[in-house]
Structure 1
Amino acid sequence: MTESKKFEGKDEFLALARLALSERPQDVQLFLGKVARRYRASEPEVATEIASLLKNSSGRSSALRRETAAPVPVDNDSRLHLIRIESPSRDMAPPVFAPSVSREVEALIQERRQIERLVQVDLEPTRSALFVGPPGVGKTLSARWIASQLNLPLLILDLSAVMSSFLGRTGNNVRAVLDYAKRQSCVLLLDELDAIAKRRDDATEIGELKRLVTVLLQEIDEWPVHGLLLAATNHSELLDPAVWRRFDSVINFPPPEKIEVERAIVEFLGDDRDLGEEWIEILSILFRGANFSDIRKRITALRRAATMNERNVAIEIEDYIGRITRSMPHSEVLALARKLYGIHRISQRRVAVLTGVSRDTLRRTEDKGSKASRRGRGG
């Protein structure tokens, strides 16, 4: 036997050994599928046998994953769980996203649902994604939605919560969580990634943290196909530049625009969503610039007060406007009154009642606006 014959298939054998020893059964199956296709022409009997083995093992895939075998990692000192585990919720309502976010999140879901189709052309689904955006725009909610659509548990690791003054302990905790998640078919969310994956050229950070960032980058590179690694950050400017390159996908979550604010209001109103277009538009003005989380909290508070006081939500909205206008500068109250009056369904009398701005004041500002508009047109 020649030397070249002796080592034929060596690379495939070593790759398969690594996958098997790292306890990644679904990755083993994907790899064997590729091998079967590669040798379909030169070794048809071997390829057929591998395909048959894969077909017979597909029914046992859930057992191979051993999702309940490993204990949930805990902090050695406090003995508290390091991660929060949420079971998938199949009846979860679709979140309100910006159109660009909806497209990218849906693409992630469809890739995971059609892994076999990708494997047929030697492709893999997205294994990791970084969610970037200010607080309250739906980053954690999107991770929850993806997990629910894939019927997988969501594991959440708040990196800011596991940071310790003893960085060696932090490193051990993070590694324990990553090792645990890699053995599961799950969605892992690393929340507040900037708490740990900071720039390694930051002079204020010590060597242990820089080494931990290096380990994290390696884990992202080698994340198994059967799981999905997500990370979220509110402070993208703090991230190490290498972090951006490691993630398969980066999704930017912008603050909600007017149309998304209105959709969120309708969604969060629940059974009170038949309140009427007038009030939906008023709320969209009041919540302009707010994030989804704040909108949900404010509307929930209004609905809760309406229930406790046994009155219509619209009355609570009126009271809310009265409360906020008392603490606002006059110029801002006047601007709010103008916006409300701009809604064709609301009269000057109604705006005056809601904001405390007199109808005479509204008429004067309207007249000034009309004159300024005519001057602008050269009239």
Structure 2
Amino acid sequence: MATNDQLKALIKSHADGDDPQFYSVAMQVAAKAARAGQERFSQELRDMVDDLRRKTVQSARIASVVPVSQPRGELASLLTVTYPDARLSDLALVGDVSDRLQHVLLEQRRRGDLARHGLTPVRRLLLVGPPGTGKTSTARVIAGELGLPLFAIRLDTIITKFMGETAAKLRMIFDALAETKGVYLFDEVDALAGDRMAGNDVGEVRRILNSFLQFLEEDTSDSVIVAATNHPELLDRAIFRRFEVVVPFPLPDEDAVRTVIKNRLANFRLSNLGWKRIMGAARGLSHAEITVAAENAAKRTVLAGAEQIRTDDLVAALEDRRGPGFHGDENTQP
């Protein structure tokens, strides 16, 4: 059963509206019950916590549906909105990327504690790395974990040949960002933030960058801004100073390769796979490429009337992803 300290922590976290702390203490109680042999009670408590978490996310989504969530007029052409339910555990991340993201989420969830000490949570992240390594998926995860809408900025409709129009559209985005709390994704941000010192740069590009930098500097909203790029070398150095956290997304290591494949092929038997051959075939491929290869091997297995994934099929599918001109698709990350 719960200790006196745990009971007090449960009551305090509930009174403070600190849901993450409430869930954490409840899970500690469940773990203690399991160690004491109370398996049924432990599982019931875990199920209750999971149910409460789902209801909290759903309530947050409903509360977030304000006019900008159904953008109209010109704003509708500048962004799209979704309500992801992705979780950090859904991603196969390399190195300390998971730790960095967990800390960002913790700061967001404990923003009240930080505010009492005159501090603000991290709310601007710059994600850099090759295509297909999970940058776009990370924006969906941040939105899902925080129960916020995800607004994807359509840079193709923002950037025009007339600098004044582009600046006005950027202003609309930042006004929406201040009005409605959410996660705002600027994918392929190098289109807005190219190096001003580049030899082939033109005045209009520099002015667009300056407007973007100014809007970032002036923004004091509670929204989370996520910018992503496959080409950090193209970014102006001033952009890096506008983001509190820069997260590099490398290609998957062996642990991540194994996780991606197991997650995607969870409905198949994998007991006899030759992982050494698979790792060799997957070397240098992105998360997205490995996901597609796993799906292709799964289709071959289904059409053959089998349930066991064959190493040969998976290796062949991975090697096919090395075809000429293939660069992966970020949005296929699991």
Deviates most, 191-200 or 254-263: 254-263
Kindly indicate whether structure 1 or structure 2 has the higher relative contact order, using CA contacts under 8 Å at least 6 residues apart.
2
Once the 2 structures are TM-superposed, how far is the Cα of residue 195 of structure 1 from its aligned partner?
0.9
Query: Are 1:153 and 2:149 counterparts?
Result: yes
Q: 1:310 to 1:243 in 2, by over 3 A?
A: same
**Residues 1:90 and 1:251: Cα distance change in structure 2 (over 3 Å):** closer
Q: Specify whether residues 241 and 248 from structure 1 end up closer, same or farther in structure 2 by C-alpha distance, changes over 3 A only.
A: same
Residues 208-261 of structure 1: CA deviation (Å, up to 9, x unaligned): 322221121122223334211110011111111111111111111111112221
Give the counterpart of 1:261 among 250, 253, 257. 257
Of 278, 283, 286, which residue of structure 2 is paired with 1:288? 283
1:304 maps to which residue?
299
- 2:208 is aligned with 1:209: no
Kindly indicate whether the alpha-carbon contact (under 8 Å) linking 2:188 and 2:228 is maintained by their aligned counterparts in 1: yes
Which residue number in structure 2 is paired with residue 175 of structure 1? Answer: 171
Q: For 2:317 and 2:236, how far apart are their aligned partners in 1? A: 45
2:82 matched residue in structure 1? 86
**Paired residues for 1:202-241 under 5 Å:** 202-241=198-237
Report the CA distance between 1:182 and its aligned residue.
2.0
Instruction: Report how far residue 276 of structure 1 moved.
Output: 1.5
Q: Is the 8 A contact 1:74 1:82 kept in 2?
A: no
1:99-140 per-residue CA deviation (whole Å, 9 max, x = no partner) reads 310011111100000001101111000121111111111111
Seen in structure 2, the aligned counterparts of structure 1 residues 252 and 320 have a Cα distance that, compared at 3 Å, is: closer
Q: How far has the Cα of 1:72 moved from its partner?
A: 5.0
Distance in 1, Cα, partners of 2:308 & 2:165: 50
CA distance in 2, matches of 1:324, 1:197: 34
Distance 2:318 2:129 in 1: 28
CA root-mean-square deviation: 2.9
Residue 307 (structure 1) shift: 2.0
User: Is the counterpart of residue 139 in structure 1 residue 135 in structure 2?
Assistant: yes
- 1:267, distance to aligned residue in structure 2 (A): 1.5
Change in CA separation of 1:122 and 1:271 when aligned onto 2, cut-off 3 Å: same
Is the 8 Å Cα contact of residues 73 and 176 (structure 1) preserved in structure 2?
no
Number of positions where the alignment pairs a residue of Structure 1 with one of Structure 2: 261
- Matches of 1:179 and 1:81, distance apart in 2: 15
Contact 2:143 2:182 (C-alpha < 8 Å) held by counterparts = yes
Q: Is the 8 A contact 1:72 1:81 kept in 2?
A: no
Which sections of structure 2, spanning at least 5 residues, go unmatched? 1-59, 323-334
Query: 1:164 aligns to what?
Result: 160
- Structure 2 residue 275 is the aligned partner of structure 1 residue 276: no
Q: Which residue of 2 aligns with 1:100?
A: 96
TM-score w.r.t. length of structure 2: 0.69
Q: What letter corresponds to residue 67 of structure 2 in structure 1?
A: A
Query: What SS does the aligned partner of 2:257 have?
Result: helix
Distance 2:234 2:87 in 1: 36
Cα distance change of structure 1 residues 92 and 66 upon mapping to structure 2, 3 Å threshold: closer
| Percent pairwise identity | 28
Q: Aligned to 1:121, what secondary structure does the other structure show?
A: coil
CA contact (8 A) 1:194 1:238 kept: yes
Matched-pair contact (CA < 8 Å) for 2:192–2:212: no
- Does the CA contact (< 8 Å) of 1:83 and 1:158 recur in 2? yes
Q: Which residue does the alignment assign to 1:318?
A: 312
Q: Letter of the 1:129 partner, please give it.
A: L
Mapped contact 2:129–2:249 kept (Cα < 8 A): yes
Report the TM-score when normalising by structure 1: 0.62
Question: SS where residue 77 of structure 2 aligns?
Answer: coil
